Structure 1
């Protein structure tokens, strides 16, 4: 398929949007309109959809691609996102609905647990800050997706303690560059630390 870009370079997500039209693609854009998602992610990527190359929609897709990354042993997240779009281009209404429900479950958990601090790291003398990459978003969303309801419920009850522990976790990790922070291995490692922290708090 040939894309008429009018002389402007398209982002990878804009290309996916053109290559893989369909119900799943539309659902990604709909999920990206969630008010909490827009408030938090918009502060991280800075700017509207037209200026960010559909970066908000790509954040939604990242969640789904990361879920299946380990099964396929993919090392490249962009390639995994391309593959997921291709495989789900013609997904049924029920399958698309199930994916949407899974995304929203994780998102609502992040909202209830971290609130305005969701998808941010704490930095001494600076407070809570977005770090300009999807790393914290990826890790918190994946952790919440993998946890059972009772752990999420206990985490919400003890959200102040969770936020305190998140400060410690953020201090223990050193983010040496965008490439490392964006690697699937590092995302999974960081997500595992958050998941184990929530499980520990829930069983106290």
Structure 2
């Protein structure tokens, strides 16, 4: 009985600590845009995903706003009570980033309406092209927000973010890691995605990277993390579990480096940049392409394959920094001949996260390039 009372007390304390205080508030769209411009409303806190809506999806939202069709509540977190200069609270968007970004971009004339059906006469129109009465209607349209108390722990914000998004567009694994493991290592992974050699090798257009699906879903960030997870022979520590397997293996790397010092992060950055410079130099921008044997000729199947990435990127790093080998150009043709090897081809096909396949393809490439 005493134990029950103790547990009940503990439960009451936890419930009190974790209870989220909220307050309903409404802003018209014109005011919201001004607040975003002033930095009062922050659209991209660390735990948020990248903007993923295309122009058609964004246009349907704008049409709904014009027609006064209800849209979901936007959840915001009050981050700072009072700013000494503006005397205005600052907010981060916990849920509603895609909607607010669509509104913001349209009112800034960044895209034209497309694919809308009810007001199909507006297809092709930018915000500046709308008739005055629709501009007024859009600017005056109110958006309901739920403000979350600023005193809650940051981890609670992440919990809220994950729960609210469970019923919408499914978060990719890296988007969740971005929420849970925010910090300097996470920032490093995101910044390295813009490395020119890396983008060329992943077939991401240098001028319009935001149009690439890998970028939209943060898959490019996950590939950077994949690199840091496998290098220095760490791939040997991969043990597939019944549940998440490689997903947990990647998350363990995020957790391991979450407290890394600046010096260690700088070393990781240097190793990454040098590795991808050498790969691009010696193998070209289709270094991670997948080929198949077609009557003793190599037939290109795809210009980027993640299993080929595992094998070549991991190998080059380990040979450069652990064995002092800095030139691979003379071995390029030997590397390409691996695609005629049935065992190697099988290791980059099908269930390529199989432990045996992962180790085999990396060690096979090391054997060739060493």
TM-score class, shorter: 0.7 to 0.9
Structure 1: gaps of 5 or more residues = 200-204
Q: What is the alpha-carbon distance in structure 2 between the residues aligned to residue 29 and residue 20 of structure 1?
A: 12
Q: Which residue of 1 aligns with 2:185?
A: 24
Matches within 5 A, 1:1-204: 1-3=159-161, 4-5=164-165, 7-42=168-203, 47-49=212-214, 51=216, 53-67=217-231, 68-70=234-236, 72-75=237-240, 76-123=245-292, 124=294, 127-130=299-302, 133-148=305-320, 151-153=325-327, 155-156=328-329, 158=330, 162-172=331-341, 173-175=344-346, 179-199=350-370
How far is the alpha carbon of 1:31 from its aligned partner?
0.8
Q: What is the alpha-carbon distance in structure 2 between the residues aligned to residue 101 and residue 151 of structure 1?
A: 16
Higher strand share: 2
Q: Any idea what SS the aligned residue of 1:122 has?
A: strand
Structure 2: gaps of 5 or more residues = 1-158, 205-210
Cα gap change, 1:197/1:85 in structure 2, threshold over 3 Å: closer, same or farther? Answer: same
How far is the alpha carbon of 1:132 from its aligned partner?
5.9
Cα gap change, 1:62/1:104 in structure 2, threshold over 3 Å: closer, same or farther? Answer: same
Q: What is the alpha-carbon distance in structure 1 between the residues aligned to residue 301 and residue 335 of structure 2?
A: 13
User: What TM-score do you get using the length of structure 2 for normalisation?
Assistant: 0.47
Q: What is the alpha-carbon distance in structure 2 between the residues aligned to residue 101 and residue 107 of structure 1?
A: 10
Q: Which residue of 2 aligns with 1:202?
A: none
Q: What is the alpha-carbon distance in structure 1 between the residues aligned to residue 284 and residue 215 of structure 2?
A: 27
Q: What is the alpha-carbon distance in structure 1 between the residues aligned to residue 303 and residue 284 of structure 2?
A: 17
Report the number of matched residues.
Answer: 191
Cα gap change, 1:131/1:102 in structure 2, threshold over 3 Å: closer, same or farther? Answer: same
How far is the alpha carbon of 1:126 from its aligned partner?
6.5
How far is the alpha carbon of 1:57 from its aligned partner?
0.6
Q: Compare CA radii of gyration and give the structure with the larger one.
A: 2
Q: What's the Cα RMSD here? A: 2.6
How far is the alpha carbon of 1:42 from its aligned partner?
3.4
How far is the alpha carbon of 1:127 from its aligned partner?
4.0
Q: Which residue of 1 aligns with 2:67?
A: none
Report if the CA contact (8 A) 2:192-2:224 is conserved.
yes
Higher helix share: 1
User: What TM-score do you get using the length of structure 1 for normalisation?
Assistant: 0.81
Q: Any idea what SS the aligned residue of 1:147 has?
A: helix
Cα gap change, 1:178/1:19 in structure 2, threshold over 3 Å: closer, same or farther? Answer: farther
Cα gap change, 1:97/1:150 in structure 2, threshold over 3 Å: closer, same or farther? Answer: closer
Cα gap change, 1:101/1:74 in structure 2, threshold over 3 Å: closer, same or farther? Answer: farther
How far is the alpha carbon of 1:143 from its aligned partner?
0.8
